[in-house]
């Protein structure tokens, strides 16, 4: 608790915090392009088998139209259009007869696309699907690549959470930006699909570190009263990045160019991030009060505080005397489950993170199945996400963290279940429910970013954040994989996404406390104090109600 007073002496919410938010907005605008890139770079274009009659210039009959050649070369598919995965072994001339029926040929007359495919390049000039033929028998490789990308974030969330506590937030942030830039740029030179997936894994690994380090730095340098607002601003930048991706992909139809546009800016962000000060909270907890004092004075000078000289080592040590000894205690994952108050919070947040991200990424990675214009849909998803996140700060000030978290997740789940009941031909209504669910997820994710930082004390905050990201990304990995079951059980994916989201909202209501108005906890004793204060408040409220009734 004592650090909050030091932060107020350093200017509270001033010019430094504003510059810090502007710095973190840069990666937040570009990260969505990396995460959702394969909605466009891996879009499945229209395709059919390559055939001699149609695609071998020397074999084309000049007295026949392309439609006639298609009829005798490619059998009709399930949607009555040309089959995407099979072709006739020999030209079926009898199909040119107007009286020909489906019985005029049999499955034995067809074969797979042994000579490759011809792709429709009217929408995208190039995609990884067309480059490595990720269609027909290989169509499962597309969601697999998305899951590999998410597995990189999963592993990175765990590793960077531990490394950030050992080496600091700032060095990890700069390194991860550089790693993402190098790996993302190298992806365009990948000669095989396996190497492509490997480079995407490395890029995602670095992205996880950017998430953890930037959000933790922002939380630890922001006063309690302004924390919700600043985190909402960053969340809105993330939403704006999603909307901008639709326009970026519309302008850049080649997957290599789009990949470069989403990767190269991180070289500059890596250099810009060096101006940021290290977390003074972390320095205090690690037993480095001298460095913490230097960072506090630096922030005070930027904020224009003339009383910065009053920040001395004596003032700092007396303010945080109970925190420095705790830095000598080793902190590990087990610490989250050894103390009862942390154990309940950790288990509940693990369930919430897993449930939220499995449903969220199941929705956003399924953009192409909605049909229509996927560029417009992406922009629409980003716009409604922006609106949802922008209203989060206002909602949190009136309803609190727990109510918003539980309510938004429940509404998102109900929207998914409602969408499941809408027929496929009512595309407009399906889009409305999908957009509603996306907006509710935007509110939920913004609230969760604030909520989880307030649930854990400083010594274990990064470790807890890393574990929660790890479990959440495990859900994000499963999201696209569940979509693979759609061919056998079409209703299973939306049913799972909706039910899981609603069930996790009940976990929030029954197992997590309200943290609105409480300072950021620095020690486990702070959590116990909050618990005691809440209990006293409940008893006082009960007495008041009883007295009123009498």
Instruction: Decide: helix, strand or coil at residue 126.
Output: strand
Q: HSE on the CB side for 386, CA within 13 Å?
A: 17
Please check the confidence at residue 370 and state whether its pLDDT lies above 70: no
**Which has the closest alpha carbon to 531: 321, 346, 345?**
345
Tell whether the model's pLDDT for residue 327 goes beyond 70: no
Count of C-beta atoms within a 10 Å radius of residue 15: 13
Cβ neighbors of 534 (< 8 A, separation 6 or more) are 513, 514
Q: Give the span between the Cα atoms of 152 and 147, in whole angstroms.
A: 9
pLDDT band at 550 (very low <50, low <70, confident <90, very high): very low
CA 309-312-316 angle, to 5 degrees, is 135
Mean pLDDT across the stretch 130-158?
85
In angstroms, rounded to a whole number, what is the distance separating the alpha carbons of residues 483 and 204?
Answer: 21
Among 60-64, 109-113, 178-182, 219-223, the range of highest mean pLDDT: 178-182
What local confidence, expressed as pLDDT, does residue 267 receive? 93
Label residue 530 by pLDDT band (50, 70, 90).
low
Separation CA 456–CA 468 (nearest Å): 12
Element (H, E) at 110: strand 110-112
Split at pLDDT 50, 70, 90, the class of 261 is very high
Of residues 194 and 446, more confidence is placed in 194
pLDDT of 312 > 70? The answer is no
108: pLDDT strictly greater than 70: no
Q: How much is the pLDDT for 454?
A: 82
pLDDT of residue 1: 46
- Buried b / exposed e across 188-204, counting CB within 10 Å, b at 16+? bebeebeebbbbbbbbb
Minimum mean pLDDT range among 102-106, 162-166, 180-184: 102-106
- 249-253, 346-350, 481-485: least confidently modelled range: 481-485
Q: What integer best gives the mean pLDDT of the chain?
A: 79
The region of weakest confidence among 31-35, 87-91, 359-363, 509-513 is 87-91
Say whether pLDDT at 325 is over 60: no
Q: Which residue has the tokens 């229509």?
A: 372
Domain annotation for the chain: domains and CATH numbers: 1-38+131-322 (1.20.1250.20), 47-119 (no CATH), 339-518 (1.20.1250.20)
Q: At a CB cut-off of 8 Å and minimum separation 6, what does 212 contact? A: 157, 160, 161, 164, 172, 462, 465, 466, 469
The full DSSP string for 313-343 is HHHHHHHSTTTTGGGGS---TTHHHHSHHHH
**More confident site: 255 or 537:** 255
Mean pLDDT of the 49-73 span: 72
Q: Are 473 and 151 in contact (CB under 8 A)?
A: yes
Burial annotation 391-417 (CB, 10 A radius, 16+ → b, else e): bbbebbeeebbbbbbbbbbbbbbbbbb
- Going by the DSSP 8-state scheme, the letter that residue 63 receives in this structure is T
Distance CA 242, CA 231 (A): 17
Model pTM?
0.76
CA distance 201 to 149: 5
Instruction: Quote the pLDDT of residue 16.
Output: 79
Measured in whole angstroms, how far is the alpha carbon of residue 252 from the centre of its chain?
A: 23
What is the band of 471 on the pLDDT scale with cuts at 50, 70, 90? confident
Q: Quick one: average pLDDT of 74-82?
A: 76
Residue 112 is inside which H or E element, if any?
Answer: strand 110-112
Which H/E stretch holds residue 47? strand 47-49
């Amino acid at each position: 608790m004592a650090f909050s007073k030091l932060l107020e002496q350093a200017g509270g919410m001033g010019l430094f915090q504003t510059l810090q938010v502007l710095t973190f907005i840069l990666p937040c605008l570009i990260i969505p392009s990396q995460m959702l890139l394969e909605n466009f770079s891996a879009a499945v274009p229209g395709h059919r088998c390559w055939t001699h009659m149609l695609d071998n210039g020397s074999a084309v009959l000049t007295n026949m139209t392309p439609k006639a050649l298609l009829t005798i070369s490619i059998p009709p598919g399930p949607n009555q259009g040309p089959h995407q995965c099979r072709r006739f072994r020999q030209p079926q001339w009898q199909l040119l007869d107007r009286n020909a029926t489906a019985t005029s040929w049999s499955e034995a007359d067809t074969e797979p696309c042994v000579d490759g495919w011809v792709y429709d390049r009217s929408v995208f000039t190039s995609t990884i699907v067309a480059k490595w033929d990720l269609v027909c028998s290989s169509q499962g490789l597309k969601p697999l690549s998305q899951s590999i990308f998410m597995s990189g974030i999963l592993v990175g969330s765990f590793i960077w959470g531990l490394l950030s506590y050992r080496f600091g937030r700032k060095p990890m942030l700069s390194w991860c930006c550089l790693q993402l830039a190098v790996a993302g740029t190298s992806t365009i030179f990948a000669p095989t699909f396996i190497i492509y997936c490997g480079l995407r894994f490395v890029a995602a690994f670095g992205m996880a570190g950017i998430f953890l380090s930037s959000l933790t730095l922002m939380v630890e340098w922001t006063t309690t009263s302004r924390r919700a607002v600043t985190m909402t601003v960053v969340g809105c930048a993330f939403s704006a990045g999603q909307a901008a991706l639709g326009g970026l992909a519309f302008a850049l139809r080649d997957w290599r160019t789009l990949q470069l546009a989403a990767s190269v800016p991180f070289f500059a962000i890596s250099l810009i991030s060096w101006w940021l000060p290290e977390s003074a909270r972390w320095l205090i907890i690690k037993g480095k009060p001298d460095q913490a004092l230097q960072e506090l004075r630096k922030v005070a000078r930027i904020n224009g505080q003339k009383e910065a000289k009053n920040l001395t080592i004596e003032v700092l040590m007396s303010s945080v005397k109970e925190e420095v000894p705790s830095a000598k205690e080793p902190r590990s994952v087990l610490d989250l489950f050894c103390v009862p108050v942390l154990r309940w919070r950790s288990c509940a947040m693990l369930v919430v993170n897993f449930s939220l991200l499995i449903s969220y990424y199941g929705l956003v990675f399924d953009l192409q199945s909605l049909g229509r214009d996927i560029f417009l849909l992406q922009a629409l998803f980003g716009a409604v996400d922006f609106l949802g996140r922008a209203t989060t700060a206002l909602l949190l000030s009136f309803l609190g963290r727990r109510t918003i978290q539980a309510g938004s997740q429940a509404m998102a789940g109900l929207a998914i279940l409602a969408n499941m009941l809408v027929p496929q031909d009512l595309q407009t209504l399906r889009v409305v429910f999908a957009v509603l669910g996306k907006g509710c997820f935007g509110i939920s994710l913004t609230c969760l970013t604030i909520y989880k930082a307030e649930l854990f004390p400083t010594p274990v905050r990064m470790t807890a954040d890393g574990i929660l990201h790890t479990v959440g990304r495990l859900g994000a990995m499963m999201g696209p994989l569940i979509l693979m079951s759609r061919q056998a059980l079409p209703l299973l994916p939306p049913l799972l996404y909706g039910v899981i989201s609603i069930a996790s909202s009940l976990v929030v209501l029954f197992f997590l406390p309200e943290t609105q108005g409480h300072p950021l906890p620095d020690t486990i004793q702070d959590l116990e104090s909050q618990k005691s204060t809440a209990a006293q408040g409940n008893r006082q409220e009960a007495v008041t109600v009883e007295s009123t009734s009498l």
